[in-house]
Chains A and B, each alone.
Chain A
Amino acid sequence: MTVLSVECPRCRTPLVESALNQPGLEPCAGCQSLLQVEVFPALFRRTAPAVSGEIVLVEGEAACFYHPARKAVLPCHGCGRFLCALCDCELNGEHFCPACLESGKTKGKIKSLENRRTLYDTIALSLAILPIVLIVFWFLTIITAPMALFMAIRYWNAPRSIVHRTKIRYVLAMIFATLQIAGWGIGIYLLVTNLYG
């Protein structure tokens, strides 16, 4: 039998039940660290046993797309294929098949499955600003400014941070990059005109 306990995060000593859900900080019996532990009913929730899906007994009964021998219990919310209890993956009240879940995660179609994003707006702004801030690398702007402009245009519609974020970084990157490119253009023009005439 597995003993249910809440441990001290520092010394792993199981905390006494009377120390849980107390209004103030209580010392751990093992390391004397002051702890405040709040537990919720989910701690006591028993895990439901895994289901394997019922076997199709009657000829012509709806069967699972992935397991033809298993009885279908519901359709996939993404593709509409019939699924057995084994293939049913529930996510926020919707039911998906493993394939839809996988494609939803990789293509970012199911937002709540997304666990990583690249911040192209930050990359564009850094390319536009960093060589100027690090004064000694100003000459790199001849490469980084067009790169920043490209990034800002190419990824203008790409998803930004999952928490609200405006397009201000893209706009600033474009302004700084354009100014730098214009500066290089004027500089080269003046150099050429001074050299040849």
Chain B
Amino acid sequence: MADKEYRRLTRARMRRKGFFVSHATRSSLWLGKDHLLSIDSTYFTEEYKRFYFRDIQAITIRTTRRRATWNFALILALLFWLATLVYDFSTGPPPDTTEVVLLGISFLIIAVSLLVNNILGPTSTVYLRTAVQIEELPSLNRVRRAHKVMGIIRPLIVAAQGQLTPEEVLARMQEMNYA
């Protein structure tokens, strides 16, 4: 069987446009022979951006507060669910089977979301810098996932460009800025 040209690095995730999440555009990351391919899928079209390993200048991982925000919202939902439960059992006739099933399903949805949100770890936003652009990679929205992908692409970038130690970075920055 012929080798596939691209290997999937991340599944498609929603691209944020400012404060809002754009549900229409989903972004995924693929690994090519000599480049990273970012695919933005919008319903029936795909847009491609290629980042060649030789051109990548920097990759920045920034932690965000998205996990805490989701935790807050989900805990609020859980409290609301608890209040409904207490109200249902303390007033009027005991709830029927349908009501119990609905309450059970809603509890499962909230609890599983809360659990998954915390199991996946801290949230992040990753930026990739080249000589002409700084591009956000929305599919790397968790620190752990970003580290995993970095572990895959770092050797490839190093093979294309070479490696810099923190001391070398310091020396080169000073050399360029104070020359």
Among A36, A47, A126, A161, the most chain B Cβ lie within 10 Å of the Cβ of A36
B22 at the interface (CB under 8 A from A): no
Q: Which of A4, A9, A112, A119 contacts B60 (CB 8 A)?
A: A9
Q: Which of B1-49 contact A (CB under 8 A)?
A: 4-6, 8, 30, 34, 37, 39, 43-49
A119 vs B164: C-alpha distance in the bound complex, in angstroms?
Answer: 41
B143 contact set on A, CB distance < 8 A: 25
Q: Which of A1-36 contact B (CB under 8 A)?
A: 3-6, 8-10, 17-18, 20-22, 25, 33-36
Q: Given known contacts A17-B169, A112-B50, is B164 in contact with A39 (CB within 8 Å)?
A: yes
B61 at the interface (CB under 8 A from A): yes
A38 contact set on B, CB distance < 8 A: 58-60, 150, 154
Contact A9 B125 (CB under 8 A): yes
A4 contact set on B, CB distance < 8 A: 173, 176-177
A196 at the interface (CB under 8 A from B): no
Q: Which of A10, A22, A162 contacts B48 (CB 8 A)?
A: A162
Q: Given known contacts A3-B177, A21-B169, A47-B131, is B37 in contact with A162 (CB within 8 Å)?
A: yes
**Contact indicator per residue, chain B 136-179, by CB within 8 Å of chain A (1) or not (0):** 00000001000000100010011001111110011011101100
A21 contact set on B, CB distance < 8 A: 164-166, 169
In the complex, which residue of chain A has the Cβ closest to the Cβ of B154?
Answer: A38
Interface size band for B: 35 or more
Interface size band for A: 35 or more
Contact B47 A116 (CB under 8 A): yes
Contact B45 A163 (CB under 8 A): no
Q: Which of B49, B63, B169 contacts A115 (CB 8 A)?
A: B49
Residues in A lying within 8 Å of B, measured CB to CB: 3-6, 8-10, 17-18, 20-22, 25, 33-45, 47, 92, 112, 114-120, 122-123, 126, 161-164
**Inter-chain pairs besides A17-B174, A34-B63, A45-B131, 12 sampled, C-beta below 8 Å:** A5-B173, A20-B166, A20-B173, A25-B61, A37-B58, A37-B59, A40-B161, A41-B161, A42-B55, A42-B130, A116-B47, A162-B6
